[in-house]
Chain A
Amino acid sequence: MCIQFTLNSLAIRFFAPKGVDKTELFWIYLGYGRDTEEQSQMRVMQSNLTGAAGLVSLEDGCINEFVQRGTRNDPECSSFMEMGGGSPNPRRTLGD
């Protein structure tokens, strides 16, 4: 489960396994009881950015599909992905 808070929109995503080679992603968008009509409309519009086919988030389904395709080839093996932290990583900054 993933709690998503982007801009002013609160959403919950469920990543539900449907078998060894299938998952389903559910998107639930929440409004607030105290929202004015205008605030509700703003949250609805923001869903076009961060929703199931949002301009920012629509690749999420595609990326999961790519990962799943990669992992199903070697069901007996394990692997991990290292995301930095293994060696010094000098980075240029504005001060350089």
Chain B
Amino acid sequence: MPSVIEKPVAQSSDDQYRDAAELIASYGHAMDDGEIDLWPQFFMPNGLYLITTKENHEAGLPIGIMRCVGRGMMIDRVKAFHTANIFEPHTYNHIIGHPTMSYDKATGCVTARSNFQVARIMETGQMDLYAIGKYLDVIQEEGGSLKFKERVVVLDSRNVDILLVVPL
């Protein structure tokens, strides 16, 4: 697990913002390092992960590209990645912009938006700009660490090259 998740619970909203930014960065680094097994643990047990397109998101259409409701579905995705899916090996490199955040005292949740660009690197060394969009996050504390209650990945780049198997 990334070290940030073991830190003591933050008290002020400044601490919450710092830890939320740390969570967002750690997530990107874990994906870039191929730590897909860690992926479900970044979420609350009933967390939502949705990849959708800007067009669908703005039209309020519920179906996107990938949807996981709860860690169980995320663990299924990881298992499929290891044992069932067929794809060319590749890695990601996330560039994530500085997040804008707000803190809701009533729910204790941080709402964050950050822009990202993801490059995909194939085994040949060929690199392509693969996805551009924004993360819309609702982040909550669970068991002394911050987790995603919701992570909606809105793609500006609607056109996904070949396939999407590793979560963004």
Q: Which residues of A contact B (CB under 8 A)?
A: 24, 29, 40, 44-45, 47-48, 51-53, 55, 58-62, 65
The answer to whether A53 and B51 touch across the interface, beta carbons within 8 angstroms, is yes
> Are A52 and B162 CB-contacts (below 8 A) given A59-B86, A59-B87?
no
Contact flags B4-25 to A (C-beta < 8 A → 1, else 0): 0000000000000000000000
Cβ-based interface call for B163 (8 A): yes
The answer to whether A51 and B165 touch across the interface, beta carbons within 8 angstroms, is no
> Are A51 and B77 CB-contacts (below 8 A) given A24-B159, A59-B87, A62-B88?
no
Interchain CA distance A62-B65 in the complex, whole Å: 15
6 nearest A-B residue pairs (beta carbon) = A61-B163, A53-B164, A53-B66, A47-B63, A48-B67, A53-B65
Task: List 18 additional A-B contacts (Cβ < 8 Å) besides A45-B69, A58-B87, A61-B160.
Answer: A24-B159, A40-B62, A47-B63, A47-B67, A48-B66, A48-B73, A51-B67, A52-B160, A53-B51, A53-B160, A53-B165, A55-B80, A55-B84, A58-B165, A59-B85, A59-B86, A59-B87, A62-B88
Shortest C-beta distance, A30 to chain B (Å), equals: 10
> Are A65 and B162 CB-contacts (below 8 A) given A44-B67, A55-B84, A58-B85?
yes
Size of the chain B interface, CB-CB below 8 angstroms: 24
Chain B facing A: main interface SS: loop
Interface centre among B68, B69, B163 (most CB of A within 10 A): B163
Cβ-based interface call for B156 (8 A): no
Q: Residues of B contacting A58 with CB < 8 Å?
A: 85, 87, 163-165
Interchain CA distance A58-B76 in the complex, whole Å: 14
CB within 8 Å of A: which of B61-100? 62-69, 73, 76-77, 80, 84-88
Q: Residues of B contacting A45 with CB < 8 Å?
A: 67, 69
The answer to whether A48 and B68 touch across the interface, beta carbons within 8 angstroms, is yes
Q: Residues of A contacting B164 with CB < 8 Å?
A: 52-53, 58
> Are A55 and B77 CB-contacts (below 8 A) given A29-B63, A44-B67, A47-B63?
yes
CB within 8 Å of A: which of B154-168? 159-160, 162-165
Q: Residues of A contacting B64 with CB < 8 Å?
A: 47, 51
Shortest C-beta distance, B143 to chain A (Å), equals: 27
Q: Residues of B contacting A55 with CB < 8 Å?
A: 76-77, 80, 84
Interchain CA distance A44-B67 in the complex, whole Å: 9
Interchain CA distance A60-B77 in the complex, whole Å: 17
